[in-house]
Amino acid sequence: MSLHPSGVLPRSSGRVVALLRACHPEPATAVTVFVAVLAAGAGRGPGPSVAVALAVLAGQLSIGWCNDAVDARRDTACRRGDKPVGTGELPRAAAGAAAGAALLLCVPLSLFCGLAAGAAHLVGVAAGWAYNLRLKRTVLSPLPYAVGFASLPAFVTLGPPLSAWPAWWATTAGALLGVGAHLANVLPDIEDDLATGVRGLPQRLGRPACRRLAPVVTAAAVGVLVVGPPGATGVTAWVLAVAAVVAAVAGTAVRSGPRSRWPFRTAVLVAGIAVGHLLLHAPDMA
């Protein structure tokens, strides 16, 4: 990639980089990979699994860009250097347009995976938008995370070859993982959120309560995946469960910097372990 004589990237290239940074790339990538792997494990085949991945990626990109567009003024006020819209590197209108385009693309991609499956996924994406636009400031802030994560097993199982509602334990574990991810994600920003008028449930509970509650909720999700599926629990499942609980506790017990994303990254790790649990019982998910 060439540089201008001044030594900076061309404006168009800089805009692309800023867009990539503003889409919340870590969770977007993780969720996309997790659901694609789950779809393949459920027997969807290479082509349909790629279609699932593209639909999930489009939905995650739309939610991420929407979030940064909505929070632009807050991020500027809080001097969030990791937010390109807040720093002025990316115009708010550009992030909003990207969010809208990704959402429009998400609709046909989701429905291509099956009408029922696509509808379930779009409900989850709509929950993410509802969080960004309104619910993050209310006591109902965990609800969109619960709905969004719970919709992902349904997106997989409602399509072929299973074509059935997911088992209760898959949906319940997804919802609990979503709430745990919400609590962990908010931890670094609680003070900034309160200073700018964001009073979701974690902000109302406060940092100490969230540090204790996040691993409990996440561990509960793992517990559901251990006891919920039919049949005896094998050694592999127990090993994965122990690893997930250790990671969940470490995510909030280990002291880190005020803006550290360590708690959320460990929540993503636990979600990956949960996907491993689901793969062990893929035929029983529906």
Residue 256 pLDDT = 56
State the pTM of this model: 0.91
Count, residues in the chain = 286
Rounded distance, CA 45 to CA 54, Å? Answer: 14
Block mean pLDDT (10 aa), the chain, length 286:
44 82 93 96 93 98 96 88 89 95 98 96 98 96 97 95 93 96 90 91 93 91 91 86 88 66 86 90 83
Rounded distance, CA 189 to CA 185, Å? Answer: 8
17 three-state secondary structure: helix
Rounded distance, CA 18 to CA 89, Å? Answer: 7
Rounded distance, CA 201 to CA 186, Å? Answer: 10
Residue partners of 122: CB distance under 8 A and separation at least 6: 59, 106, 107, 110, 111
Residue 4 pLDDT = 46
Residue 24 pLDDT = 92
Q: Is 234 exposed, middle or buried (0-12, 13-18, 19+ CB in 10 A)?
A: exposed
| Residue 207 contacts residue 184 (beta carbons within 8 Å) | no
Q: Give Cα 74 distance to the centre of its chain.
A: 21
Rounded distance, CA 262 to CA 252, Å? Answer: 8
Residue 9 pLDDT = 45
Per domain, the residue ranges of the chain are 11-284
Instruction: Please give the span between the terminal C-alpha atoms of the chain, in angstroms, as a whole number.
Output: 48
Name the residue among 80, 223, 218, 196 with its Cα closest to residue 145. Answer: 218
Residue 10 pLDDT = 53
Residue with tokens 């919340």: 24
User: Within 10 Å of residue 52's Cβ, how many Cβ atoms?
Assistant: 31
Residue 50 pLDDT = 97
Q: What phi, psi does 5 have (nearest 5°)?
A: -55, -30
| Residue 2 contacts residue 10 (beta carbons within 8 Å) | yes
CATH topology of domain 11-284: Farnesyl Diphosphate Synthase (1.10.600)
Q: Is 174 exposed, middle or buried (0-12, 13-18, 19+ CB in 10 A)?
A: buried
